[in-house]
Structure 1
């Protein structure tokens, strides 16, 4: 895993994308952008993509635009993942233990593509 500063640099400086990557053989599973690929490799957090992908059959989630946040509690290394339709909370999942370095990350899922806000 890369240091927190390098991961934050990825989050803040990834713009656009040249490629899309399929990270799961499951039909309908979202693809990811260059920035998300670098983030998942740097923070060793492919599990975060699995969580987001696992909720795509939820009929309450908008298939066109979703916002996903991961908030880490640094006191006990637990976390909460939340999925929104724009600003309406739809999904909340507790993560009992994580070593994800930043305290927060936000991802968008737009038309089947997971991307960083800076890539939007």
Structure 2
């Protein structure tokens, strides 16, 4: 796995997408999200985002922001789902993670997951 600093730097270079990839339930994701999932070995995070779409109070939000914040001291994390206006819709604790970055933000709208820089 690449160093976190290199992954962060490369993630900033994604703007728009050249291809969409299909996940479960018809959800698509972009080049940047594919890079993130491959490099950080975090397809579980995509699964988490898709699984929350089965909950009406999340699904009814047209625009969603998923923020993963890792506590590096004990390798736990919290995912916060917001509506794009800093209003928290839901949180989920992750009891263990080997996610290499201290945080990441993924946007979700119209059944597409993407990085903020790809908007």
Asked if these proteins are the same fold (TM beyond 0.5), I'd say yes
Partner of 2:94: 95
After superposition, give the CA deviation of every residue in 1:26-52 in whole Å (9 maximum; x if it has no partner).
Answer: x34x21000100010000000000111
Correspondence list, 1:7-46, <5 A: 7-24=7-24, 27-28=25-26, 30-46=27-43
Contact 1:64 1:112 in 2 (8 A): no
The match for 1:72 among 70, 75, 78 is 70
Q: Compute the TM-score of the two structures, normalised by the length of structure 2.
A: 0.92
Question: Please, which moves more after superposition, 55-64 or 11-20?
Answer: 55-64
| 1:60 pairs with 2:57 | yes
Q: Compute the TM-score of the two structures, normalised by the length of structure 1.
A: 0.91
Structure 1 residues not aligned, in runs of 5+: none
CA RMSD between the two structures: 1.2
Number of positions where the alignment pairs a residue of Structure 1 with one of Structure 2: 117
Structure 2 residues not aligned, in runs of 5+: none
